[in-house]
Homo-oligomer: A and B are copies of this chain.
């Protein structure tokens, strides 16, 4: 079981071997959550921070008329509510889209981490600022792109984000969400998502069957979607595999 959190955070700061070990300890106590369950409701004041370690979840907001907007997809390594300690309450909900392995971290642990491990602290802030950058790109996506490019852009983003945590191959990944959920994320109706997907299949851009998405030509899809990964603020070259080999022993030495 690899540590998606460490994989991700190492994009945002040069973590030491000890930092990696700390993070491995952090995610050792996990909880399984079934598919399509609420993790945190809007208005709630959680006293623990939640983290997705495996599976797929989402932020969302429902309006009074019942319409729903998905605000973000949370992939392994993403925090659900790192901000709530300062903002006081949640202005949106969090729910699983698939069965998930979640980690719950007490706020005191977070405070200990941020005050005693400056590089982890920096990496946590990096993560929340990247969340914000992704949100900005979603706004551009929904505000300015037509449906087909909009959908293509989402598929490109998920490819890259999943790759950084080891959840995607060069050109494919598991996309276990319904077309309705895609529509709620993109501001499109379910019917139009369906037609757009089929057009992309007919154009030879993708195949998508039984939650397996295969991008037949990644560069072509990126060009079609006008996708530029700069907004993800990833490290130019990510090769954390060397350091990770040292971690297991140290992790147990600290006290796992």
Seen from chain A, the residues whose Cβ lies within 8 Å of a Cβ on chain B are 12, 43, 59, 61, 63-65, 67-69, 71, 83, 86-88, 91-92, 122, 125-126, 128-133, 135-140, 142-145, 186-187, 226, 230-231, 233
**Cβ of A226 and Cβ of B64 under 8 Å apart?**
yes
Q: A65 to chain B: which residues have CB within 8 Å?
A: 226
Q: Which residue of B lies closest to A125 (CB)?
A: B86
Q: For residue A125, which residues in chain B have a CB less than 8 angstroms away from its CB?
A: 86
Closest to A145 in B: B63
Q: List 16 A-B contacts (CB under 8 A).
A: A61-B136, A61-B137, A71-B136, A86-B122, A86-B126, A87-B126, A87-B129, A87-B233, A91-B133, A91-B136, A91-B137, A131-B132, A135-B135, A135-B139, A138-B139, A139-B139
Picked from B69, B87, B136, B186, the residue with its CB within 8 Å of the CB of A130 is B87
- In the bound complex, what is the Cα–Cα distance between A186 and B138 (angstroms)? 13
In the bound assembly, the distance between CA atoms of A125 and B139 in angstroms comes to 22
Kindly list chain B residues whose C-beta atoms are within 8 Å of the C-beta of A59: 136
Measured CB to CB, the nearest residue on chain B to A183 is B143
Given contacts A139-B69, A139-B142, A144-B69, contact A129 B83 (CB under 8 A): yes
**Contact of A133 with B226 in the complex, beta carbons under 8 Å:** no
Q: Which 3 A-B pairs have the closest CB atoms?
A: A143-B187, A69-B140, A91-B231
**Residue in B68, B83, B136, B144 whose CB lies within 8 Å of A92:** B136
Among B92, B131, B143, B233, point to the contact of A91 (Cβ < 8 A). Answer: B233
